A and B are shown apart, each in its own frame.
Chain A
């Protein structure tokens, strides 16, 4: 399917911008956006809010502010939001 889409991106009826998308480095998917409105995210530019490290911004690391241990455990993994790419039941 992907190769078909790539082939059709060169078709004369497609806008040139579609063709260009195949040459872009795609940023990591923001899984927090799952379930939200694509149109709203487009208009508010929330969909192009990338992690700082992705755009080359570095924060000073203050280890005293980072949690040093993690003893929490989720009781029921089915209560968690499922993966962005995978919509099948967890069990």
Chain B
């Protein structure tokens, strides 16, 4: 059983997952160089699937590389680039190498990337891919053809609490949980009150009890990064007060870090939250600092060394 699954089911301590940077060239040493700084601090690492509609080394290749290098990959599968045959083949194929955490998402439109001329597929959408992946874990393809032995998959999804219509996002989380999602990584957000509303809704409708909800924070070190996310990334709003706070600070990198720390502490303090997902755009050691400042410890096996969420909310 995967470490992510063990923690999601036991909730013995907060789960820490991270986004792995995209890889475009090199070899396993290239992957290792980017993995080493974060590996000791995470329970799972996302192997992304052409993020923001830009082509990179494939999700399957990166997931297998991460597994080979001792990490626990979470293989993202998007619906934009592959039909149901290819998506199923990727999931079942990766499972042969021990890649069993699957994160299903619809994916950005091709117009978000640098090859907007590309054909969209969208044979499935995010929620239906969750159900298809769950079916693979139960031992059958969409056709009903049996898979023996069935891959021991742990399927999750993503959700965007901050995009309109916000009330529907809670319902969409429920749809994905019903389809089989057992973890939900949330879009990066800078609106704590919106996150609280979303989590409260997921507690009320029962999603938080059966699906590990992981809000996301992003380590940045410039005001420009916040402006970019606000202006160019769908589903992310960075309120002017937060952008002003960072841009007018005497030490912008430090203020950016403190902002992320505050957001992470707040997210982990919300009842119903099972952990945190971290995207690191700084690559300067801040990832380890954040984990230490949050009082988290992922060095012990998942079945030991519990860390209270109360400790991190202080």
With A27-B128, A85-B122, A86-B120 known as contacts, the answer to whether A22 contacts B142 (CB < 8 A) is no
Cβ contact of A29, chosen from B123, B144, B174, cutoff 8 A: B123
- The interface centre, meaning the residue of B120, B148, B168, B175 with most chain A CB atoms within 10 A of its CB, is B168
Give chain B's interface residue range (CB within 8 Å of chain A): 20 to 34
With A3-B164, A27-B128 known as contacts, the answer to whether A53 contacts B120 (CB < 8 A) is no
B61 close to chain A: CB less than 8 A: no
Instruction: Pick from B132-140, B192-200, B266-274 the stretch touching chain A.
Output: B132-140
Q: Enumerate B141-193 residues with CB–CB distance to A below 8 Å.
A: 141-148, 164-165, 168, 171, 174-175, 178-179
Contact digits for A42-54, partner B, Cβ 8 Å, 1 yes 0 no? 0000000001111
A57 close to chain B: CB less than 8 A: yes
B73 close to chain A: CB less than 8 A: no
Chain A contacts of B148 at CB under 8 A?
61
A28 close to chain B: CB less than 8 A: yes
CA distance A89 to B121 in the complex (A): 14
Number of A residues whose C-beta is below 8 Å from B?
Answer: 25
Contact status B146-A28, CB under 8 Å: no
Contact status B142-A54, CB under 8 Å: yes
CA distance A50 to B122 in the complex (A): 18
Contact status B132-A28, CB under 8 Å: yes
Contact status A51-B125, CB under 8 Å: no
CA distance A77 to B125 in the complex (A): 25
Cβ contact of B144, chosen from A7, A24, A27, A58, cutoff 8 A: A58
- The interface centre, meaning the residue of A26, A28, A60 with most chain B CB atoms within 10 A of its CB, is A28
Cβ contact of B171, chosen from A23, A52, A56, A61, cutoff 8 A: A23
Contact status B146-A60, CB under 8 Å: yes
CA distance A20 to B123 in the complex (A): 23
Q: Nearest-CB distance from A33 to chain B (Å)? A: 14
Contact digits for A1-39, partner B, Cβ 8 Å, 1 yes 0 no? 001001100000000000000111111110100000000
CA distance A20 to B140 in the complex (A): 29
Chain B contacts of A56 at CB under 8 A?
135, 138
A83 close to chain B: CB less than 8 A: yes
Contact status B143-A53, CB under 8 Å: yes
Chain A contacts of B135 at CB under 8 A?
53-54, 56
Q: Nearest-CB distance from B170 to chain A (Å)? A: 11
Contact status A53-B127, CB under 8 Å: no
CA distance A34 to B148 in the complex (A): 33
Chain B contacts of A22 at CB under 8 A?
168, 171
Contact digits for B99-127, partner A, Cβ 8 Å, 1 yes 0 no? 00000000000000000000111111101
B131 close to chain A: CB less than 8 A: yes
Cβ contact of B165, chosen from A3, A52, A85, cutoff 8 A: A3
CA distance A52 to B143 in the complex (A): 6
Chain A contacts of B119 at CB under 8 A?
83, 86
8 contacts between A and B (CB under 8 A): A6-B165, A25-B128, A52-B140, A52-B143, A54-B132, A56-B135, A61-B145, A85-B122
